[in-house]
Structure 1
Amino acid sequence: MKCSSSSSSSLLRLSDLLPELSVSDEDQEMLRDLASNLVTHNLEQSNMLLVTKKGFPKSNTGQWKEMRRKDGLRIYRERPGSTRSKTPFTPSLLLLGTVDGTVEDVMYGVVANTDAAMKINSTYVNDGMLDTKILCELVEPSREDPFCHAGIKWKLFSDRDYVSLDTTGILCFSNGERVGYNLSHSVAFPDLPKFTKHGVLRGNMSVCSLYRQKTLTTVECYVRGFFDFPTMNEMLNNVALQALASQWLSFGRKVECGRMKKLAWRLRRNSLDARSSDGSNASTCSSCASSPSGRISPPSARPGVCVRCSHSFGFLGTSREICRSCMQSFCTRCTVKKVICAMTPDGRTVLEKKRSFCRECFGDAAMSDTLAIAREELGDGFVNDFQQYNPEILKKGFECRQVTKSIPILERATRRRI
């Protein structure tokens, strides 16, 4: 079992020094309008971007230089002097490409309306975030729209932290297109302390990611980010930009994060089902019962053999694995190992536990209705229910005018054209 503990380092306890923000109704409305305007601006900019048939920037413009490439994603940096804007140059990154899945799958791996959910998401995607805290909630998700959320969040990355206006959701257009979005835009508050004496610099950034359903099974990704660095040293800024580009590879792991959260949901659901049936076994997956879908139904369970392929476990049973979802016995060839994350009761530590799942249970969880699961979780309130939910998994399986004055990146980011 691997632990990511916020109590293991003094850096990770800085969140305790941050007070909750008291924001007037008027300022909350202004912040929500700001978020909406920024998302709309980024949508317009994404539609204006000149790309090739494969969806990557046209090289003849000379504006973008490739920095990273992994699977179907590419990350670019903007070259200084590549635009005619009279405003000072602000370093920026661009990510383009596709990932397998649906918009709902991606957004399920993105949305996080509690500190615990943010930490779990960060662990799954490995984005380098060390600690986080929601300082003010502006929009709460609902069962009708479980991916819609907005708030002021603090995030710590190594020697740099950010206070940002964050919003997520899915936009539906008259032509039927659905676009998922996730915005993080730096804001400033006089009541929030800085941690310079702790070696942490307060950074400014504006990052917006957009996700469009390209085909039934692929999602088109667009991420644009602007960054204000606290130094004019070009070499140090280049190093920082390289580090950010590496962190951006985590955008490609949002779908996998959603799938792992589905597995965690399934374990929880099976645990609750077992309780309601006086401790009987968890629900059986499709590999363990007759199925009209065309899957091969296994023979009746026999001791010492794999339920799926009837492979013998041998005398010592070293190749035997227990699926943590259906609790049936499988050989190693018929199982996959996945890391499931959960929070400890104190809400500080993310526990990572590697679990075995049969391929059918894993596939069923991955293909399950993402929207229905997100709605059910909101109804259950499981993310905050550490005592009931998380141990079971391991056992079984943001004044607004001041904002625009204090952060010039806002004006530059919204005025610049790609």
Structure 2
Amino acid sequence: MARPKVRLRDGDVEAFRNLAHSVISRTLAHECEYRRRGCTEPDAHEWKLVKRYNGLRVYKCKMQPEFQPSLSQENALARAPTAVCIGTIDGSLEDVLYGLHTKTRREMHVTNAFLNRGHLECAVLSVIEHGSDRDPFKQLALKWILAQNFGDVKSGNYHDVCTIESTGTGVDGRGESFGYRLIKSVDLTEYPQLSTSNDVVRARMTMCCIFRQDANSRTVRVYSKGMLDMGEEAPSFVPNSDATCTMMLSIASATEIAEAKRLTLLALQRAEYSACRSQRTCEPEDSSRETEATVTSPLPAETFDLHDSFLQKMPSDPCSVCGKKPTMSKFVRASHRSCGVCKQPVCHKCHVKRRLFARSDAIVVACCKICIIASKRLRVDPREPCPMLSA
């Protein structure tokens, strides 16, 4: 479902820049005040803890306005529950921003599959600002998402939302670095309703996140505020509250997405390395392991074999990680699984299931521990094309 690009006038561009800057600055001020107070829990008289997930906690504001059926769509967020998400995510600030960064529809589609189980379709309508050497993660863009649901509660309608998305890094008034991500619904004159189907309801949302790297550990501190209105006519706040909570906790998948991108890039690099070595030597491939990626640009995705690694069987070779041979290999044709990244045999104790990026969708493979470690050492640039395996 291709969506036409949005043509913006100079006045529109400046308006979107100012909008993003104002929301991010306001959220940063709240985050700085939260840190100044020692990162204490929100006031129990005003905020209610509604959900915990890993190191994150979501609180909902107890004081909600009464439902007004006549409320305009422009002010619909006034009846959506305001939520605050605080806590930590394992990983680095680079991993969080790299995982959430999307430049194209295809990259956005696979990324959203991690963030929202109800995701159906998406589009990048316009990219206003790109990354630079100073801030490779910087992006200001208009995007569109169509989803069956944004939370665990399903409704009879599909929901779409058109947003301004801003991502990047900055330095606060105390000279401390931080990362940010803003998603805020906007109205486009050209597209008041991108889908004309009667079963699609326009949702409204705002979520702004401030990320800071913990100096003493590989964790990222998170402070975010947001709200989501599903656009339903029902007076109940349950669907909106659930959807808001799910939206806030979705950022926990950021490092998982970054790892999937890194492993996919490593798989493409290893395939290219093996192909180049075979062409140069015309000899059987050496069985030695490489723990450092030596190619900086991924091979075209068409050259990568996408056979399910769980079905690929190797001869009775020992595990490339621990050296153990398959159980009963002397009596039956037992074999280890093949790592979906390096294609080497790996036993059940030395592999984990991981998802890789593919053009159609993410795929699950067995991944050896050596490739997991090697992927973390890769230098990545979010401005480069997203690594994708062929469909």
- Does 2:345 align with 1:329? yes
* TM superposition shift of 1:323: 2.1
Kept in 1, the 8 Å contact 2:321–2:370? The answer is no
State the match for 2:54 in structure 1: 71
Deviates more, 1:155-164 or 1:96-105: 155-164
Moved over 4 A (4+): 50-55, 87-90, 173-176, 279-283
State the match for 1:307 in structure 2: 320
* TM superposition shift of 1:239: 2.1
* TM superposition shift of 1:164: 1.0
Render the CA deviation track for 1:328-359: whole Å, top value 9, x for unaligned: 2221111112121211xxxxx32x32212211
- Rounded to whole Å, the distance in 2 between the matches of 1:338 and 1:218 is 21
State the match for 1:362 in structure 2: 372
- Rounded to whole Å, the distance in 1 between the matches of 2:175 and 2:160 is 38
State the match for 1:223 in structure 2: 224
Deviates more, 1:109-118 or 1:140-149: 140-149
Alignment counterpart, residue 9 of structure 2, candidates 24, 40, 60: 24
Task: Give the fraction of aligned pairs with identical amino acids, expressed as a percent.
Answer: 24
Q: Secondary structure at the match of 1:222?
A: strand
- Rounded to whole Å, the distance in 1 between the matches of 2:92 and 2:40 is 18
* TM superposition shift of 1:227: 3.4
Kept in 1, the 8 Å contact 2:84–2:226? The answer is yes
Kept in 2, the 8 Å contact 1:270–1:283? The answer is no
Would the alpha carbon gap of residues 142 and 116 (structure 1) be closer, same or farther in structure 2, given more than 3 Å must change? Answer: farther
- Rounded to whole Å, the distance in 2 between the matches of 1:120 and 1:231 is 27
Amino acid corresponding to residue 259 of structure 1 in structure 2: E
Alignment counterpart, residue 57 of structure 1, candidates 18, 34, 42: 42
Kept in 1, the 8 Å contact 2:264–2:341? The answer is no
* TM superposition shift of 1:224: 0.7
- Rounded to whole Å, the distance in 2 between the matches of 1:144 and 1:102 is 18
Q: How many residues align?
A: 339
State the match for 1:272 in structure 2: 272
Amino acid corresponding to residue 289 of structure 2 in structure 1: T
- Rounded to whole Å, the distance in 2 between the matches of 1:317 and 1:193 is 62
* TM superposition shift of 1:99: 1.1
Kept in 1, the 8 Å contact 2:164–2:184? The answer is yes
Amino acid corresponding to residue 200 of structure 1 in structure 2: V
Written as runs of structure 1 = structure 2, the 5 A alignment for 1:97-246 is 97-126=87-116, 128-158=118-148, 159-173=158-172, 177-194=176-193, 195=195, 197-214=197-214, 215-228=216-229, 230-231=231-232, 233-235=234-236, 237-246=237-246
* TM superposition shift of 1:312: 1.9
Amino acid corresponding to residue 331 of structure 1 in structure 2: C
Amino acid corresponding to residue 321 of structure 1 in structure 2: R
Would the alpha carbon gap of residues 342 and 88 (structure 1) be closer, same or farther in structure 2, given more than 3 Å must change? Answer: closer
- Does 2:22 align with 1:37? yes
- Mark the runs of 5 or more structure 1 residues left unpaired by the alignment: 1-12, 288-301, 344-348, 384-388, 395-418
- Rounded to whole Å, the distance in 2 between the matches of 1:229 and 1:335 is 41
Render the CA deviation track for 1:362-395: whole Å, top value 9, x for unaligned: 1221x325xx3125xx34x355xxxxx522xx7x
* TM superposition shift of 1:250: 1.8
* TM superposition shift of 1:90: 4.7
Would the alpha carbon gap of residues 54 and 208 (structure 1) be closer, same or farther in structure 2, given more than 3 Å must change? Answer: closer
Amino acid corresponding to residue 337 of structure 2 in structure 1: E
Amino acid corresponding to residue 206 of structure 2 in structure 1: S
Alignment counterpart, residue 63 of structure 2, candidates 53, 56, 80: 80
Kept in 2, the 8 Å contact 1:212–1:221? The answer is yes
Amino acid corresponding to residue 71 of structure 1 in structure 2: N
- Rounded to whole Å, the distance in 2 between the matches of 1:254 and 1:50 is 23
* TM superposition shift of 1:88: 5.7
Kept in 1, the 8 Å contact 2:79–2:229? The answer is no
Q: Secondary structure at the match of 1:333?
A: coil
State the match for 2:296 in structure 1: none
- Rounded to whole Å, the distance in 1 between the matches of 2:288 and 2:263 is 14
Would the alpha carbon gap of residues 241 and 322 (structure 1) be closer, same or farther in structure 2, given more than 3 Å must change? Answer: same
- Rounded to whole Å, the distance in 2 between the matches of 1:276 and 1:114 is 29
- Rounded to whole Å, the distance in 1 between the matches of 2:117 and 2:137 is 20
Render the CA deviation track for 1:99-132: whole Å, top value 9, x for unaligned: 1111111001111111111111112334533211
Kept in 1, the 8 Å contact 2:353–2:367? The answer is yes
TM-score normalized with structure 1 length: 0.73
TM-score normalized with structure 2 length: 0.78
Would the alpha carbon gap of residues 20 and 281 (structure 1) be closer, same or farther in structure 2, given more than 3 Å must change? Answer: farther
* TM superposition shift of 1:92: 1.1
- Rounded to whole Å, the distance in 2 between the matches of 1:254 and 1:23 is 30
Q: Secondary structure at the match of 1:189?
A: coil
Deviates more, 1:166-175 or 1:216-225: 166-175
- Rounded to whole Å, the distance in 2 between the matches of 1:317 and 1:209 is 53
Amino acid corresponding to residue 336 of structure 1 in structure 2: V
Kept in 2, the 8 Å contact 1:170–1:178? The answer is yes
- Mark the runs of 5 or more structure 2 residues left unpaired by the alignment: 66-76, 149-157, 280-284, 293-314
Kept in 1, the 8 Å contact 2:81–2:244? The answer is no
Kept in 1, the 8 Å contact 2:92–2:220? The answer is yes
Written as runs of structure 1 = structure 2, the 5 A alignment for 1:278-293 is 278=278, 284-286=289-291
State the match for 2:298 in structure 1: none
